[in-house]
Amino acid sequence: MKALRAHVGMELRLSLRQGEQLLVSIGIPLLLLVFFSLVDVLPKPAGVTAPVDFLTPGIVALAIMSSAMVSLGIGTGFERQYGVLKRLGATPLGRPRLVAAKILMVLVLQAMQLAVLLSTAAALGWRPSGGMALLPVAVVAGTAAFAGIGLYLAGTLRGVANLAVCNGLYLVLLLFGGMIVPLDRLPDALETAARLLPSAALSEVVGGTLGNATISTQAWVVLVVWALGAPTLAAARFRWHPAP
Amino acid sequence: MAATADSNDGTSPHDMPTDMPTDMPTGCDGRREPFDTKSDGVNPSVGPAIEVQDLVVRYGGRATGEVVAVDGVSFDVHPGEVLALLGPNGAGKTSTVEVLEGFRTPSSGTVRVLGLEPSAQHAQLMPHIGVMLQEGGVYPAGRPREVLELFAAYYDDPADPAELLDRVGLTERATATWRNMSGGEQQRLALALALVGRPRVVFLDEPTAGIDPTGRQLIRSVIAELRTDGVAVLLTTHDLDEVERLADQVVIIDHGRVLANGAPVDLMRSQPSDEIRFGAPAALDAAALAHHLGVDADAVREVTPGEYVVAVTPSPKHVAAVTAWLAEHDLPLADLRAGRQSLEDVFLRLTESAKASELVRSASAAAPTHAGSGARTRGQARRSGRSGRSR
């Protein structure tokens, strides 16, 4: 317990200490939320009048993706490259506790993100109309999916390549994830493809739980498949030692 | 085997603050009892802390061809003993250490650390070993104090992080980040991390690489203290001077095979040299000295600027003649060694002759090389040996 607590603390301090990590996990989602809520230039889905009502679920989904995929993935990739994971392998910490510490770190980070983003959205006039009962399920499923992707990249690519791929993927998943641009504004073929992405599925599910909209079965299925498949792939392919 | 234990150069414990953990049970010889009887599967009997028997490590697959990194290595390290694993780059040192740390499984052979199989009984073994990797191993944004405290939290009975930080001279750098620390500071922190769990076996992979003389001295004194505390230490290094001062046992390996194994003093004695070596100002008149000694002109050679080798029996008479000639010309004498080799000489001779015998093997297998100067033949043979291996 002492080891786990100490390790969660270290993981949290490291992610909060690094400016670029904070920028990705809190800065960018907050900026997008405030800017596009105040500057009404983005297309909105039919029936939505205030931009903040469309943006809030998408930005919550974005925040989950940022902490689980980008923050965790880049941090772990560099830890692998610098031999930290290898060195930890020669301590009594053990892989189960290391993985548990990383999961807890991400969950704590997400609680902080949600507190900041939801209170900002409320200040901008957003009110939840859904019961939010399924929000924790959406958060856990989304975290599993994105952490799986982030750890797969971290465990197979070199540090800098991992950094580049993580950031590139972040942008693609953001643009094709229904987070700031509604999916129905995409060309049909692109929209169909985008609906298979974990980001689109997560924003639809979060939108449903926050806004009392119906969630398509497809969104749940896509999200669950990613939530199971990506961590499985990561566990199978993860390399703990630095690339030679 | 403690041949050089007490003769090392000012690294005796009194020179340094002795704030290493001392509250461990001690045996009748004042050393820490090597094994306690905790029921954690750790071998309670007295025996080697590290046992390596016919270890073979193979790498690679169909694409790259199989490489045998370690090829039948055996040695033991007892509690309170320092073993230095020497060898050229790529000799198999790190592969051997990684098997002992549980990072790799042996292709064949047996390996035990504290009676446990390192990869299969990894979790049981980890609380008892300390590891210093060849490089890295610490969060780039981590700070010495917090990282040491973090590692301390992994163990049931850790050493005091603050004392340890002081011991390795990092108290004033306690809040610097790893990425902003010098190579020497990083090495010292890595050493402290290896010790924070009060290990009974310590693996140090090139602990003094890229470190300044003060840091080197400090690391040597810490290793000497570990030995006094009954810890078994396995270190790999290229610093032969360090080994001469510090190691109880030396294992020289090359191409994965043991070339020699023994106490440094015994290894140096076992290779008597028929020469006198001395240091003096560069560019002396070697021919004049040879004439004075009554030997052939080419018997006196300046092997590196300021270092001379005289190929004569290292008798007192010849030594006297050399020093007399220097005195006559009013020349200073920097160093004088007769009939005994440094560990470096032994190392070079063994690894060179291993290379040469391999060359003979590969040369006889390949097309015959043209006789030329010895060096050229050797160079050609080496090339043919390489291409032979890569096929």
**Dihedral (C-alpha) B135, B137, B138, B144: value to the nearest 10 degrees?**
-70
The owner of tokens 């007769």 is B338
Nearest-CA residue of chain A relative to B138? A84
| ipTM of this predicted structure | 0.88
CB pair distance less than 8 Å for B103 and A86: yes
* CA–CA min distance A75, chain B (Å): 9
Chain B partners within 8 Å of A20 (Cβ): none
Q: What is the pLDDT of residue A210?
A: 87
Whole-number Å distance between alpha carbons of A218 and B230: 64
pLDDT digits (tens, 9 = 90+) for A1-16: 899 999 999 999 998 8
Residue A167 phi/psi, 5° resolution? -70, -40
pLDDT band at residue A159, thresholds of 50, 70 and 90? confident
Which of the pair, B11 or B238, is modelled with greater confidence? B238
Q: Would you say residue B384 has pLDDT above 80?
A: no
CB pair distance less than 8 Å for B138 and A10: no
Q: How many CB atoms lie within 10 A of CB B90?
A: 13
How far CA B351 is from CA of A61, B200, B258, B375, in Å, comes to 61, 32, 10, 16
pLDDT band at residue B351, thresholds of 50, 70 and 90? confident
Q: What is the pLDDT of residue B354?
A: 66
Q: What is the pLDDT of residue A34?
A: 96
Q: What is the pTM of this model?
A: 0.78
Q: Is B278 on the interface with A (CB under 8 A)?
A: no
Which of the pair, B265 or A131, is modelled with greater confidence? B265
Q: If 0-12 CB within 10 Å is exposed, 13-18 middle and 19+ buried, where does residue B370 land?
A: exposed
Which of the pair, B362 or B26, is modelled with greater confidence? B362
Q: Is B197 on the interface with A (CB under 8 A)?
A: yes
Q: Would you say residue A132 has pLDDT above 90?
A: no
pLDDT digits (tens, 9 = 90+) for B129-158: 999 998 889 999 999 999 999 999 999 999
B 149-168 residues with CB below 8 A of A?
Answer: 149-151, 153-155
CB pair distance less than 8 Å for B149 and A6: yes
* CA–CA min distance A89, chain B (Å): 8
Q: What is the pLDDT of residue B277?
A: 87
Chain A partners within 8 Å of B197 (Cβ): 91-92
CB pair distance less than 8 Å for B102 and A90: yes
- Tokens for B333, please give them: 């004498």
* CA–CA min distance B135, chain A (Å): 8
CB within 8 Å of B389: residues ≥ 6 apart:
B362
Best-predicted range by mean pLDDT (B177-191, B233-247, B332-346): B177-191
Using the 8-state DSSP alphabet, how is residue B179 labeled? Answer: G
Q: Would you say residue A77 has pLDDT above 90?
A: yes
CB pair distance less than 8 Å for A92 and B141: no
Using CB atoms, pick whichever of B127, B140, B155 lies closest to residue A82: B140
Find out whether B111 and B117 touch, Cβ atoms under 8 Å.
Answer: yes
CB pair distance less than 8 Å for A92 and B146: no
Whole-number Å distance between alpha carbons of A86 and B344: 32
Q: Would you say residue B125 has pLDDT above 60?
A: yes
Find out whether A147 and A103 touch, Cβ atoms under 8 Å.
Answer: yes
* CA–CA min distance B75, chain A (Å): 22
Whole-number Å distance between alpha carbons of B111 and B105: 9
Nearest-CA residue of chain B relative to A81? B136
Chain A partners within 8 Å of B161 (Cβ): none
Q: How far apart are the first and last CA of chain B?
A: 44
* CA–CA min distance B276, chain A (Å): 45
* CA–CA min distance A15, chain B (Å): 10
Q: What is the mean pLDDT of residues A119-146?
A: 91
Nearest-CA residue of chain A relative to B199? A91
User: Which of B203, B31, B45, B55 lies closest to B115, judged by CA?
Assistant: B45
pLDDT digits (tens, 9 = 90+) for B42-98: 655 568 999 999 999 998 766 667 889 999 999 999 999 999 999 888 889 999 999
Using CB atoms, pick whichever of B150, B155, B197 lies closest to residue A10: B150
Which of the pair, A170 or A43, is modelled with greater confidence? A170
Nearest-CA residue of chain A relative to B196? A91
* Average pLDDT value over all residues in chain B: 80
Determine the distance from the C-alpha atom of residue A194 to the mean position of all C-alpha atoms in its chain, rounded to a whole number: 17
Order of strands across the sheet with B50-59?
Answer: B67-77, B50-59, B108-113
Using CB atoms, pick whichever of A5, A83, A89 lies closest to residue B135: A83
CB pair distance less than 8 Å for A83 and B136: yes
Whole-number Å distance between alpha carbons of B47 and A92: 24
Q: Would you say residue A220 has pLDDT above 50?
A: yes
Q: Would you say residue A200 has pLDDT above 50?
A: yes
Whole-number Å distance between alpha carbons of A229 and A142: 12
Residue A74 phi/psi, 5° resolution? -70, -45
Amino acid at B263: A
Q: Is B40 on the interface with A (CB under 8 A)?
A: no
Q: What is the pLDDT of residue A120?
A: 97
Q: Which helix (H) or strand (E) holds B186?
A: helix B183-195
pLDDT above 90 as % of chain B: 46
* CA–CA min distance B98, chain A (Å): 10
Order of strands across the sheet with B276-279?
Answer: B300-304, B307-310, B276-279, B335-338
Whole-number Å distance between alpha carbons of B139 and B316: 58
CB pair distance less than 8 Å for A83 and B140: no
CB pair distance less than 8 Å for B137 and A86: yes
How far CA A170 is from CA of A136, A139, A162, A166, A197, in Å, comes to 22, 17, 12, 6, 12
Q: Coil, strand or helix: which one is B86?
A: strand
* CA–CA min distance A32, chain B (Å): 28
Q: How far apart are the first and last CA of chain A?
A: 34
* Average pLDDT value over all residues in chain A: 92
Chain B partners within 8 Å of A5 (Cβ): 153
Q: What is the mean pLDDT of residues B196-215?
A: 91
Of the candidate ranges A102-106, A123-127, B60-64, B348-352, the one whose mean pLDDT is the lowest: B60-64
Chain B partners within 8 Å of A89 (Cβ): 102-103
Where do the H-state alpha helices sit in B38-176? 93-100, 122-125, 144-152, 161-167
Q: Which helix (H) or strand (E) holds B310?
A: strand B307-310
- Tokens for B157, please give them: 């009975």
Nearest-CA residue of chain B relative to A14? B141
Q: What is the mean pLDDT of residues B194-222?
A: 92
pLDDT digits (tens, 9 = 90+) for B2-42: 333 333 443 333 333 433 343 434 334 444 444 444 445 56
DSSP chain A: -HHHHHHHHHHHHHHHH-HHHHIIIIIHHHHHHHHHHHS--S---TT--SHHHHHHHHHHHHHHHIIIIIIHHHHHHHHHHTTHHHHHTTSTT-HHHHHHHHHHHHHHHHHHHHHHHHHHHHHTT----S--TTHHHHHHHHHHHHHHHHHHHHHHS-HHHHHHHHHHHHHHHHHTTTSSS-GGGS-HHHHHHHTTSHHHHHHHHHHHHHH-----HHHHHHHHHHHHHHHHHHHHH---SPP-
Side-chain-side CA neighbours of residue B367 (13 Å) = 6
Find out whether B68 and B253 touch, Cβ atoms under 8 Å.
Answer: no
* CA–CA min distance B177, chain A (Å): 11
Using the 8-state DSSP alphabet, how is residue B274 labeled? Answer: S
Nearest-CA residue of chain A relative to B135? A83
pLDDT above 70 as % of chain B: 76
Of the candidate ranges A62-76, A166-180, B50-64, B251-265, the one whose mean pLDDT is the lowest: B50-64
Best-predicted range by mean pLDDT (A126-130, B107-111, B338-342): B107-111
- Tokens for B49, please give them: 């802390």
Chain B partners within 8 Å of A79 (Cβ): 139
How far CA B367 is from CA of A200, B360, B382, in Å, comes to 66, 12, 12
Residue B222 phi/psi, 5° resolution? -65, -40
Using CB atoms, pick whichever of A10, A86, A92 lies closest to residue B146: A10
Q: What is the mean pLDDT of residues B295-311?
A: 88
Q: Is B146 on the interface with A (CB under 8 A)?
A: yes
Find out whether A36 and A42 touch, Cβ atoms under 8 Å.
Answer: yes
What is the length of chain A? 244
